[in-house]
Structure 1
Amino acid sequence: MTETNNDLLRAKINGETARMQWMELQRFFASGAMIAVSEQLDLVDVAVRIAADDKQAVQQWMADGLIGKVTDAQAQSWLESNAELWAVVIKPWILVQREKMH
């Protein structure tokens, strides 16, 4: 992917990122299409790499435990706390991330 295409993709994804309540996202979790992104990573960077099919980066993040399918425990915690998450769609996935604590 050229740098210009990468910049355009990044801008598009950034514009599609939104804060959403967990209640609005639960149905995507139930369908198994939700990926949790660690607060250590930038949600847009991860989305760009997935969209660009960067298997090496994605496999490394998975091996390091930085991305993975949302667990039942995460879903329960987010439900109980009425969490607001950052979310973006990279078909067929919904990527979600807790807000970074400063």
Structure 2
Amino acid sequence: MQELRAQLAEALDEAELDWLKPHIQRDVVVVVHPQLDLLDVGIAIARDDALTVQHWISEQLIHKPSSHQLADWNSNQTKRFQALIVQPYVLVQESVTQGA
């Protein structure tokens, strides 16, 4: 598991909305709640840990972006995200170190 965590940590990157748009159109973007560690979610998905992933979905800690979120993102083109690709998904968390 440490090896998988290291691989995913290398793939973790900051992204802008423009980079995410093609993935949003393909409906593969998954929003990860800030209380979760993006790497932990990536590991659970990569290892097909269905119980954990299902729990997060039921608690709405991971979900597809809502139309309200997409509108908010589109109105703030400077919004930044932490992004992690775990095929076929692109996991994102809104970066908190941005100006309003």
Query: Out of 77, 81, 84, which is 2:72 matched to?
Result: 77
51-60 vs 74-83, which deviates more? 74-83
78-87 vs 6-15, which deviates more? 78-87
Residue of structure 2 in register with 1:3 after alignment: none
Shift of 1:100: 3.8
Residue of structure 1 in register with 2:83 after alignment: 87
Output aligned runs, 1:1-102, within 5 Å.
6-82=1-77, 83-100=79-96
Once residues 18 and 72 of structure 1 are traced to their aligned partners in structure 2, the CA distance between those partners, rounded to angstroms, is 24
Shift of 1:62: 0.3
Structure 1 SS opposite 2:84 = strand
Structure 2 SS opposite 1:53 = coil
Q: Is the Cα contact below 8 Å between 1:34 and 1:94 reproduced in 2?
A: yes
Once residues 18 and 76 of structure 1 are traced to their aligned partners in structure 2, the CA distance between those partners, rounded to angstroms, is 23
TM-score (normalizing by structure 2):
0.91
Runs of 4+ with >4 A deviation: none
TM-score (normalizing by structure 1):
0.89
Unmatched 5+ residue regions in structure 1?
A: 1-5
Unmatched 5+ residue regions in structure 2?
A: none
Once residues 26 and 71 of structure 1 are traced to their aligned partners in structure 2, the CA distance between those partners, rounded to angstroms, is 14
Once residues 12 and 71 of structure 2 are traced to their aligned partners in structure 1, the CA distance between those partners, rounded to angstroms, is 23
Structure 1 SS opposite 2:52 = helix
